[in-house]
Structure 1
Amino acid sequence: MMKFKRLLISLFLLGSTLLANIASAENYTLWVNGRGGGGVIGNYASFTYWGPASTAAGVNKKAVNWDGYNSIASQNGKIRDALDCFCTGNNWCYIATHSAGDLMMGYTLANYGSSSRMKKNAVANSSGQCSNSDGTAQTGWNIKWVRAASGAGGGSELSDAGSWALSEPLVKDLKTTTARAMYNHNSTANVWFYMYAGAKGTVYSGILPGQDDEAVSYHSTGGVAGSAGRSLCNPSDWLCNDLTMGTAANEGGSTKWAYHSVVFRDDNETYNHYASGNWLGIISVVRTAVVNSAL
């Protein structure tokens, strides 16, 4: 009888532990800004870069703020802190990026996506860091996907031409040849990057090849591989090759990086690059997709 009671107690405690672990599991949506920054670094509730914090933007949304000025390498620790906080242990993350935020996430996963990470408790201090949860580690982070609004993983010709302030360390990183050589874009720790390419360009963006959203061209926003940018367009434009949907090779034979898929191409040339303080431009398309799928 005593052995039976001990067995029941052990099973009860085991069940309680399992229920506690299940109850503590959460999904989070992390938004990683691009050039210019604006949000308070370390404050995951500061959505200044994007728009009103009250706007729906995925389950348990968090703003992963970095300064948008200094180099990708020097600011990368801010992103790793957030991923450690919210994407380890029983917790999983959805990631949304804008512009240079795509370069930042690509760099993070290529260089640290298979590294050992301590499991954290998802309770951040003022610096944006969380404490260890149970003293154990895991390999990489729990990330369901990345959705990139106007991804600049392939750089921008505006940086090449000096249209942005050349004194900014980030602008040097955003040169097309530099961005493309910065890390292995095919190495994503098996995380999919879903690309959203805007096409509402202007006259002054004529130095950008093919279709663009005033700041970044399709060769980058479409996750297209190669050592430099190329001219890619919508099917209605007969003057250059088409950027294809999904993972398929583009017209003319150029290919996309591994684990990169075009899920939105701005065929109607409706969306520009900018949030304009209210989740606008190509960001609005990503936000809608995130609200519908980051649950």
Structure 2
Amino acid sequence: MRSVSLAFFRQNPAHAVKALAVFLVLLAGGAYATNYSLWINGRNNPNAQAGNHADFTYWGPASTAAGVNKKSVNWDGFSRVSDQNYRVRDALDCYCTGNNWCYIAAHSAGNLQIGYALSLYGGSARSKKNATPNASGVCGNSDGTTQTGWNIKWVDVAAGAGGGSELANVGSWAVSDPLTSDLKTATARALYDHNQTRSKWFYMYAGSKGTLYSAVLPGQDDEAVAYHSSGGVSGSGGAGFCNPSDWFCNDLTLGTAANEGGKAKWSFHSVKFRDDGEALNHYTNGAWGGVVSKVRADMAANAN
């Protein structure tokens, strides 16, 4: 479109008034959309400041590129999913309503948190918010209207615990941790309908640098969760899935295809990265480490 000179408006004041009116309407309606990248932590987040979306203690240096306008959701990583899910919903309301859109990245039990929010609340009426949180991480209403669910482009999941972990089953984690109850494989898989993502794609990143003490985990694992969970494999219980180099275990397939042996993935779940080199474990190590490094790279490159 050709630009209009200032002289034109001086000679045609009526057009100048109309142009100003259109601009004010657009401004009042929040016509300018902003994209955000929300990072949802997993288990053990004791040092993070709940409600402080600028605190990346769980992940690594806040200066590291990890998607446009990145925000750290910061739930406590200790309580039951249902008890802390309001913090995830608060962040989704803040940044993913109105004209604003979000890219989501989740780690470990953060997979349960975003899955729970979408399945149980993703079809509910959400007040459009102004993306300006208070100290508790709650934003004010923007225009008084509502919308159904949230504006989410896609979800990247590193070392997802949506299918639970056998380490929780056998009590390898502290029994005083309420979250451990939710992380038992049967409980995690029954916590919500994993197939109900509100048509949002979950891209799964599965690590496989396991150790001897994770022998209770079936198939390939990252020391904390097995491929059946990090690969989004459907069903009521975990099973062993491996890399193609392992002849004694069914392969976890890339993409949305059913796994070797015929076991399907949950709807709208796709394996984007499988750690064939067995090089990446579960842990961030305060430096965006482990399989999270792959998600961070994807967010930095594509969440814009």
Normalization by structure 1: what TM-score?
0.96
The 2-side partners of 1:172 and 1:19 are apart by 48
Deviations 1:234-282 (A, max 9, x none): 0000111000000000000100000000000000001000000100100
Structure 1: which amino acid aligns with 2:43? R
The 2-side partners of 1:172 and 1:143 are apart by 29
SS of the residue 1:229 aligns to? coil
Q: Is residue 157 of structure 2 the alignment partner of residue 154 of structure 1? A: no
SS of the residue 2:215 aligns to? helix
The 1-side partners of 2:79 and 2:64 are apart by 28
Deviations 1:81-100 (A, max 9, x none): 00000000010000000000
The correspondence of residues 169-184 of structure 1 with structure 2, limited to 5 A, is: 169-184=178-193
The alpha-carbon deviation at position 166 of structure 1 amounts to 1.4
Structure 2: which amino acid aligns with 1:83? L
Partner of residue 14, structure 1: 22
The alpha-carbon deviation at position 19 of structure 1 amounts to 5.6
The 2-side partners of 1:180 and 1:195 are apart by 16
Partner of residue 34, structure 1: 42
SS of the residue 2:283 aligns to? coil
SS of the residue 1:207 aligns to? coil
SS of the residue 1:104 aligns to? helix
Contact 2:164/2:187 (CA < 8 Å) preserved in 1? yes
Higher mean C-alpha displacement, 34-43 vs 98-107: 34-43
SS of the residue 1:120 aligns to? strand
Normalization by structure 2: what TM-score?
0.93
Aligned-residue identity in percent: 63
SS of the residue 1:180 aligns to? helix
Partner of residue 239, structure 2: 230
Structure 2: which amino acid aligns with 1:13? A
Contact 1:176/1:229 (CA < 8 Å) preserved in 2? yes
Q: Is residue 293 of structure 2 the alignment partner of residue 291 of structure 1? A: no
The alpha-carbon deviation at position 169 of structure 1 amounts to 1.0
The 1-side partners of 2:31 and 2:52 are apart by 25
Unaligned runs of 5+ in 2: 1-11
The 2-side partners of 1:6 and 1:180 are apart by 63
The one of 58, 64, 73 aligned to 1:64: 73
Q: Is residue 131 of structure 2 the alignment partner of residue 122 of structure 1? A: yes
The alpha-carbon deviation at position 18 of structure 1 amounts to 2.4
Contact 2:31/2:99 (CA < 8 Å) preserved in 1? no
The 2-side partners of 1:281 and 1:180 are apart by 24
Which consecutive segments of 4 or more residues in structure 1 shift more than 4 A? 4-8, 19-23
Higher mean C-alpha displacement, 95-104 vs 7-16: 7-16
The correspondence of residues 74-85 of structure 1 with structure 2, limited to 5 A, is: 74-85=83-94
The 1-side partners of 2:124 and 2:32 are apart by 24
Contact 1:21/1:90 (CA < 8 Å) preserved in 2? no
The 2-side partners of 1:21 and 1:265 are apart by 43
Deviations 1:149-169 (A, max 9, x none): 000000000000100011211
Structure 2: which amino acid aligns with 1:58? G
Structure 1: which amino acid aligns with 2:253? T
The correspondence of residues 1-295 of structure 1 with structure 2, limited to 5 A, is: 9-10=17-18, 12-18=20-26, 21=29, 24-37=32-45, 38-295=47-304
